[in-house]
Amino acid sequence: MRKPLLPLETALAQLLASLEGHQLGTQWVATMQADGRVLAQDVSSQLQVPPQDNSSMDGYAIKVADLAASNGIFPVSQRIPAGTNPQALLPGTAARIFTGAPIPFGADAVIMQEDCAELPVSNPQDTLLRIQVNHTPSIGQWIRHSGEDVSKGELVLTAGQRLGPAELGMAASIGLAQLRVVCKPRVALFSTGDELVMPGDIDPQAMPAGAIYNSNRFFLNSLLQRLGCEVTDFGIIPDQREATVEALRLAADSNDLVLTSGGVSVGEEDHVKPAVQSLGQLDLWQIAIKPGKPFAHGRIGACHFIGLPGNPVSSFVTFLVLVRPFLQRMQGVHQAPLQSTAMRADFDWPRPDKRQEFLRVRRNAHGGLDLFPNQSSGVLSSVVWGEGLVDNPAGQSIRHGDQVPFVAFNDLYG
């Protein structure tokens, strides 16, 4: 009797459970070079950010209580550029101050220069510039207080975060020149099939009958790179048992994951399945998703093996919904389920499949989603045209105007 198809959630849970005990190492890298890496340890600040009260405007620092006695007229007793250590503010005076400069002791507000006017010198012996304040400030106006961004001892970055521009800027703002990150997963990528041709090896006009260009390796390599993997391309392995076994042995010896597409069925020319089984263990899963369904997971020693479907859209989608969370978990990334947004379907889908479907769609100018007309698993142009997927439950028809869960490709690429 044929086994029932595995729900996607069940397959993903089993896949992630296989990582128990699998740990990648860690290393120190320069903060400037840490973009896209996964932080390996929590980071707390050893200082206040900003370190002291400072001005958020070019203007004049005063003590608000001095306004009443001065009739709004203040002599300017000092000039404070950013990066200097000011003297205490003399009573009854103002300090010329610039954005980012520290607030002098005794001042409690900054007035923008646009709200002040320089007064002409009435006494040639008066060496101090005087200003007229034309706006009554509140205490604390235009002052950025010490620690209002980050307090000393505050946790600012957590282990498992993938570092991006904002995180790197935060690390630099608290003085970290290096960060401890998770080592990149080492992934071996190869394809099997005598019909596969690499672009550039044969001109399109000279392609023999039955030959196809190998597209899967290109988008899989790109997706792996975006997930922070160190990829080794083992090329195209011929449809020969011995060659397949040798390629798998070499790949598994120095990598954390071997990833292939196609060649894991039971045909006479499909050698990946018996080759993996001869070296380790392999489970073949039939997953209740469309496109997709055939999926293989196993191990060769300590190295994981994943075999994706050969059809390009099936390979593309199964990577996003299964391999992506697998690699994130391997790196210790904080992981959430597929993040979807409810959007209006501007199409009909009257004949749903019994499997969970991932329909290729894109947003239109009217705030809804358009459906690519050909949803075949071999039509790679559907994911080029599309901006994401509708995650459609099994057996769920869609009528024009229904709210459907939309998952953007950009949210799945890193």
The amino acid occupying position 38 is: V
358-404 residue pLDDT tens: 999 999 999 999 999 999 999 999 999 999 999 999 999 999 999 99
**Predicted confidence (pLDDT) at residue 182 exceeds the cutoff of 60:** yes
pLDDT tier at 1 (50, 70, 90 boundaries)?
A: low
C-alpha span between 7 and 251 (Å, rounded) = 30
CATH class for domain 54-144? mainly beta
Cis peptide before 291 (omega within 30 of 0): yes
Amino acid at residue number 66: D
CA distances to 100, 103, 107, 136, 250 from 53, in Å: 9, 6, 10, 21, 59
pLDDT of residue 124: 65
Mean pLDDT of 228-251: 90
Percent of the chain with pLDDT over 90: 79
Position 265 confidence tier, pLDDT thresholds 50, 70, 90: low
CA dist 280 and 300 (Å) reads 4
**What is the overall mean pLDDT for the chain?**
93
Q: Within 13 Å and on the Cβ side, how many CA atoms surround 307?
A: 29
8-24+184-330 CATH = 3.40.980.10
User: Per the structure block, which two tokens stand in for 134?
Assistant: 């034309």
> Model confidence over 159-174: pLDDT tens digits?
999 999 999 999 999 9
CATH 2.40.340.10 fits 341-411, yes or no: yes
* Among the listed residues 215, 182, 223, the one whose alpha carbon sits nearest the alpha carbon of residue 323: 223
What is the residue-wise DSSP string for 321-373? IIIHHHHHHHTT----PPP-EEEEE-S-B-S--SSEEEEEEEE-TTSEEEEPS
- Beta carbons within 10 angstroms of residue 212's beta carbon: 11
Output the pLDDT for position 125. 63
The yes-or-no verdict on residue 14 having pLDDT over 80 is yes
Closest CA to 69 of 51, 47, 93, 46: 93
Predicted confidence (pLDDT) at residue 355 exceeds the cutoff of 50: yes
Whether 279 contacts 300, CB under 8 Å: yes
Question: At residue 43, what are phi and psi to the nearest 5 degrees?
Answer: -125, 125
Domain parsing of the chain, residue ranges: 8-24+184-330, 26-49+148-182, 54-144, 341-411
CB 11 within 8 A of CB 295: yes
Task: Please say if the pLDDT value at position 126 is more than 70.
Answer: no
Residue tagged 């001005």 (tokens):
55
3-state SS, residue 221: helix
Across 339-357, average pLDDT:
96
> Residue 291: its pLDDT value, please?
96
Q: How far is CA 63 from the centre of its chain?
A: 46
Q: Token pair 């005063």 is at which residue?
A: 62
pTM of structure: 0.87
- Looking at beta carbons, which pairs linking 294-297 to residues 24 or more positions away fall under 8 Å? 294/264, 294/265, 295/11, 295/322, 296/264, 296/272, 297/14, 297/15, 297/18
Band of residue 268 on the pLDDT scale cut at 50, 70, 90 = very low
Q: Mean pLDDT throughout 327-341?
A: 88
Report pLDDT for 210: 83
3-state secondary structure 41-92: CCEECCCCECCCCEECCCEEEECHHHHHHHCCEEEEEEEECCCCCCCCCCCC
Whole-Å CA distances, 255 to 117, 300, 305, 314: 69, 10, 10, 24
pLDDT, one tens digit per residue, over 17-71 is 999 988 899 999 999 999 999 999 999 999 999 999 999 999 999 999 999 888 8
Cα(191)–Cα(260) distance, integer angstroms? 6
Q: Which of the residue ranges 18-32, 85-99, 104-118, 332-346 would you say has the lowest mean pLDDT?
A: 332-346
Q: Which fold has domain 26-49+148-182?
A: Molybdopterin biosynthesis moea protein, domain 2 (3.90.105)
Of the candidates 24, 14, 15, 10, which has an alpha carbon nearest to the alpha carbon of residue 330? 24
Distance, CA of 358 to CA of 338 (rounded, Å): 12
How far from 297 is each of 18, 270, 283, 312, CA to CA, in Å? 9, 16, 5, 19
pLDDT band at 91 (very low <50, low <70, confident <90, very high): very high
